[in-house]
Amino acid sequence: MYRDPEKTKLVELRLVELVLGVHNLSDLRNAVVVHARTIIINQGLLHYVPVNDFALIEVQEKIVMRRTVQAVGIPHAYDAHILPPGSSFVVYAFDSRGVKQVIGGVKLKVFDSSKHMKCGMFYRPEYHICAVESGKSGQLNKGISGAPVIGFIGNRAVLIAYVTSKTRLDYIILSNMVAYRVIAYAAAKQLVQMPDGAMGKLRRNGSAYVLLSL
């Protein structure tokens, strides 16, 4: 266990289990297990607001690119315009329909939360994007958490955002990767230099980030 001296929350570091939004948890026989080589976390917790953490993990296994496994880039500052209020996009997650687990697409529309704070107390405009389900069909569920939003800018595939949490009604919060781009770049550079099994945390020092061992 690790306790940040500036925080009160305990963080378990020795066992990391990630469940992506498109995993079928009922089909454990075909589960794919990978092992973390190095981890850098950014514990940005606010009191009672568990939607502001970020981590970058390097896995030991070689990732083989294929049609369903493609690389995505970290966005630039000028990519912030990709999801303006009023734009629509689709995220995919597993959904239970009777005894079946199916992949369902949920269409979302970016909401102008500066006019109506529908995303509530969890929403921080400097870090998040507020969206609402189009059509109010009630498809949003826990399986959608972590679902990525990929944008194509020219020939670049970019991770624009990922689903963080659902608030009231059909409104959700997405973490805006443009807001995390600086720390994501810094973490990516540090990861490849860290020894196997190392875990670290980046702390801002002026305009740069310093790596602290955990």
Q: What are the tens digits of pLDDT across the range 43-86?
A: 665 544 555 677 888 989 888 888 877 888 998 888 877 888 88
Q: How many Å apart are CA 70 and CA 129, to the nearest integer?
A: 24
CB 80 within 8 A of CB 178: yes
Look up the pTM and report it: 0.75
Mean pLDDT of all residues belonging to the chain: 75
Q: Which two tokens stand for residue 195?
A: 């020894």
pLDDT (0 to 100) of residue 4 = 41
Looking at per-residue pLDDT, the higher value among 32 and 131 belongs to: 131
Q: How many Å apart are CA 121 and CA 66, to the nearest integer?
A: 40
CB 159 within 8 A of CB 150: yes
pLDDT (0 to 100) of residue 100 = 62
Residue carrying the six token digits 């909401």: 111
Confidence of residue 116 (pLDDT cuts 50, 70, 90): low
Q: How many Å apart are CA 79 and CA 177, to the nearest integer?
A: 10
95: pLDDT strictly greater than 70: no
154-183 tens-digit pLDDT: 888 888 988 887 776 667 888 889 988 888
CB 173 within 8 A of CB 164: yes
Q: Which domains does the chain have, with CATH numbers?
A: 13-66+180-213 (2.40.10), 87-176 (2.40.10.10)
Least confident interval from 89-98, 133-142, 192-201: 133-142
11-28 tens-digit pLDDT: 444 455 555 544 555 566
Q: How many Å apart are CA 111 and CA 159, to the nearest integer?
A: 19
Confidence of residue 2 (pLDDT cuts 50, 70, 90): very low
pLDDT (0 to 100) of residue 7 = 44
Return the sign of the alpha-carbon dihedral for residues 178, 182, 187, 189.
positive
pLDDT (0 to 100) of residue 162 = 86
